[in-house]
Amino acid sequence: MCAFDTSAYYGPSEIVLGNILESLREEFPRSSYQLMTKCGRYGVSSFIIHLQQFVKVDERTAYGLAEGDEAKIRGEGDQKILDAYHELQALQSEGLVRKIGITGYPLPTLLRLAILILHTPPYKPLDVLLSYSHLCLQNATYLEFIPHFYKRAQVGQLVAASPLSMGLLKSDPPPWHPAPQELRQAVVDASKIGNMGLPNLATGYSLRHTISAERPLPLVVGISTPREVHECVKVWRDVQAEGPSSERREIEEQARNIFRDAGYLDWSWASP
């Protein structure tokens, strides 16, 4: 899938991307790519509902994922999601949008809402669902949820995003990142392993799992410069060419062991 992910939340990215694609339309016509953008906080002209409701509990029943809870609406937030989804369905029926989906961080919440949508008239499953920072070197719990999204929620297409976990898996994570100090230190320790660099290592880890998935699993990668584009493509080629045993995989396991020893392997931060 050749697609671009954008949002009004990303500054003027929609305008910048639109201008670029317009200048390249003879070489890359509109039919050659897909566009993903958001709604929920910035009006009704977008396609994907960007979730802002999160929970932090440990048991399936508390998450609302127990058998028999599929159609249970839990408060005003759930109803707003359903209302937005139904409005987007109307736009879809008019041909103004092609696919409808939801995005967000907490996997249990995403799963519950995808199931809720499926069990609410007119009983149409989500076309697309995206979660970020959950298929990366530090946290790969998306892999555990994938079968449930397909079987219980009947989601048409899953998408993973942010192999660097919003910049966490760099040698200098951004100061606004919600990772606690202990996890930041683990990132520093992991960056000292091998000589390919942690961003390169982390990108390869995510790409391998999306490439080897049983069903197509596109990966959204954030890039800022032409150099980063070339580096990402090189990692993609390296991962495709490697065998079942490689130095890269050995270093990945060492890095994950560092996160495990620190108590932050497959750990998700609380979201406001």
Confidence category of residue 44, pLDDT binned at 50, 70, 90: very low
- The average pLDDT across 126-153 equals 96
- The average pLDDT across 49-73 equals 65
pLDDT tens profile 80-138: 899 999 999 999 999 999 999 999 999 999 999 999 999 999 999 999 999 999 999 99
Ordered by start, the domain boundaries in the chain are 1-36, 44-261
Look up the CATH architecture of domain 44-261: Alpha-Beta Barrel (3.20)
Q: CA nearest 3: which of 183, 235, 161?
A: 161
Close Cβ partners of 264 (under 8 Å, ≥ 6 residues apart): 138, 182, 183, 186
The per-residue pLDDT for 48 is 54
| Distance in angstroms (rounded) separating the CA atoms of residues 139 and 190 | 14
- The average pLDDT across 240-247 equals 81
Q: Is the pLDDT of residue 152 over 50?
A: yes
Task: Outline where DSSP puts E strands in the chain.
Answer: 3-5, 34-36, 38-39, 48-50, 101-104, 128-132, 157-161, 219-220
CB distance 34 to 65 below 8 Å? no
Q: Which carries the bigger pLDDT value, residue 246 or residue 254?
A: 254
- The average pLDDT across 44-57 equals 44
| Distance in angstroms (rounded) separating the CA atoms of residues 157 and 219 | 12
| Distance in angstroms (rounded) separating the CA atoms of residues 57 and 149 | 19
Q: Is the pLDDT of residue 51 over 50?
A: no
- The average pLDDT across 26-47 equals 73
The per-residue pLDDT for 1 is 54
Q: Is the pLDDT of residue 37 over 80?
A: yes
- The average pLDDT across 20-49 equals 75
Confidence category of residue 224, pLDDT binned at 50, 70, 90: confident
Residue-averaged pLDDT of the chain: 88
pLDDT tens profile 159-211: 999 999 999 998 788 999 999 999 999 999 999 998 999 999 999 999 999 99
Q: Is the pLDDT of residue 53 over 60?
A: no
Question: Considering the entire predicted model, what is its pTM?
Answer: 0.86
What is the percent of the chain with per-residue pLDDT over 70, rounded to a whole number?
90
Confidence category of residue 38, pLDDT binned at 50, 70, 90: confident
DSSP class of 104: E
The per-residue pLDDT for 46 is 37
